[in-house]
Structure 1
Amino acid sequence: MNPVRIAPSILSADFARLGDEVRAIDAAGADWIHVDVMDGHFVPNISFGPAVMKSVRGMTTKPFDVHLMISPVDAYLDAFAEAGADTITVHVEAGPHIHRSLQHIKVLGKRAGVVLCPGTPAKMLDYLIDMVDLVLVMSVNPGFGGQQFIPSQLKKIAAIRKMIDASGRAIDLEVDGGIDPDTAARCIDAGADALVAGTAVFKDGPHGYAANIAALRGQ
């Protein structure tokens, strides 16, 4: 398994100084920059669109890990690809044609990811595992930061780890929601190799980012 990657979610950053925040988490040791895009329809919150993401793309060379919590999603894939996404992750629950979405992400030359909400079983990946580069397990119901980790997702993470290992493909297994040093360790033990964290990274201001990221790695 690859060493755990930490992807701070800029949803928890100070929006008044978003470019500086992206530079700060880069310097603090972030592996990816996680971009949570919410539409107020698929999830009960609105965050930002491709123009805001594009405005901070030049602040770092780290990969942009873009999680689209929007429905319908297909009409927006090109815009986020053009704005600088490296991985584009879409929900199986967001529309009836998940294969079409994943195929188009590939056509755009981006890594394709698929997301499962807490109530969605791992078996939903049975006919998708051969075409994804990343699986994202939501360990909270998407829409807001600062929620409590749902422990039942550990069983799902372990099940998906077995599916990935059996596939023989290099697929990242990412977890998002309620991640702190304790739940991070539990997710890694279950098989996760990438973790999204918002509050746990940004809570102490820029002087604390490096220590917070290290703590999520168990260092």
Structure 2
Amino acid sequence: MDSLPNQLKGLIGPSILNADLSMLADESRRLLDSGADYLHLDVMDGHFVPNLTIGHPVIKCLRNNIPKVYFDAHMMVSEPERWITDMAGAGVNQYTFHKEATTSENIHDIIRKIKEADMKVGLGIKPGTPVHDIGDLINDIDVVLIMTVEPGFGGQKFMSHMMDKVRWLRKHYPQLLHIEIDGGVNLETINDCAQAGANMIVSGSALIQSKQANKDIEQMRQLIDETLRKTQLNIQLSNDQHCSH
């Protein structure tokens, strides 16, 4: 996948945060060969979150080695506007920044600059941020990222009560909005994500450490797609009934 599909479908994007970073390209290819749809690249600045990871020079090298895959850069940084040009130059397709990292005065300007840099716009919210806080921004962005752990570290436990946010989003935006989940997603928690209405799934440790990543990715995707089909069918039936009255 080198762009977001126009229609909602299940997309599995491994987070390579916990991969062997000395073999980043090889690990990424292994996951893509196992059926992954895109790569989720965690960029942390040691300020917005208490950890430090890769930046645009590493992503550019990764792009040179893997030219045709969708890169979702999860920018856990304090000044998201600062890195837009560099990330676009590194070959990033989707620039996902956090609402909490900026102000209501700046956020529209950041969204505009990301679009001008020819990247898709992702907007993430931490567990403590109400989903209603981004309601007036949704029509201007491509993806909403719901964090199901506190951003900054891998391997945390999945916060199932965050699915209330996903359900609210999918109810109000049933057919167009891409909803991404990040944090603690594995074969045990994927059902919660699917039932709530998410379609983009970030899975880190579960896929990196899996001995059968290809089967796990396919199982996750099938579950998401089956639930999306049921959701769309219910929406159509509801609309038909409404029109008949």
Q: TM-score range by the shorter chain?
A: over 0.9
1:173-209 superposed Cα distances (whole Å, 9 cap, x missing partner): 00000101121111111000010010011013xx532
Instruction: Select which of 34, 41, 44 maps to 2:47.
Output: 41
Instruction: Select which of 64, 67, 71 maps to 1:64.
Output: 71
Distance in structure 1 (CA, Å) of the matches to 2:173 and 2:51: 32
Check conservation: 2:160, 2:192, Cα contact below 8 A.
no
Aligned: 1:211 with 2:215: yes
Which residue does the alignment assign to 2:162? 153
Percentage identity across paired residues of the two chains: 38
Q: Which amino acid aligns with 1:90?
A: F
Aligned: 1:95 with 2:94: no
Distance in structure 2 (CA, Å) of the matches to 1:29 and 1:59: 18
Give the 3 Å change call, closer, same or farther, for CA 40–116 of structure 1 in structure 2.
same
Q: Which amino acid aligns with 1:125?
A: I
Stretches of structure 1 lacking an aligned partner (at least 5 in a row):
none
Distance in structure 2 (CA, Å) of the matches to 1:9 and 1:182: 17
Q: Which amino acid aligns with 2:111?
A: L
- Answer with 155-164 or 128-137: which moved more: 155-164
Instruction: Select which of 106, 109, 112 maps to 2:115.
Output: 106
Distance in structure 1 (CA, Å) of the matches to 2:64 and 2:35: 17
Distance in structure 2 (CA, Å) of the matches to 1:106 and 1:218: 31
Stretches of structure 2 lacking an aligned partner (at least 5 in a row):
1-6, 224-245
Cα RMSD for the two superposed structures? 1.4
Distance in structure 2 (CA, Å) of the matches to 1:208 and 1:82: 34
Aligned: 1:173 with 2:179: yes
Distance in structure 2 (CA, Å) of the matches to 1:131 and 1:163: 15
Aligned: 1:185 with 2:185: no
Distance in structure 1 (CA, Å) of the matches to 2:114 and 2:153: 25
How far the C-alpha of 1:212 sits from its partner, in A, is 2.7
Secondary structure of 2:172's match? helix
How far the C-alpha of 1:3 sits from its partner, in A, is 2.5
- Answer with 50-59 or 144-153: which moved more: 50-59
Q: 4+ residue runs of structure 1 moved beyond 6 angstroms?
A: none
Distance in structure 2 (CA, Å) of the matches to 1:215 and 1:41: 36
TM-score by length of 1: 0.93
Secondary structure of 2:146's match? strand
Q: Which has the larger radius of gyration?
A: 2
Instruction: Select which of 86, 92, 101 maps to 1:85.
Output: 92
- When the two structures are aligned, how many residues end up with a matched partner? 214
Distance in structure 2 (CA, Å) of the matches to 1:137 and 1:113: 10
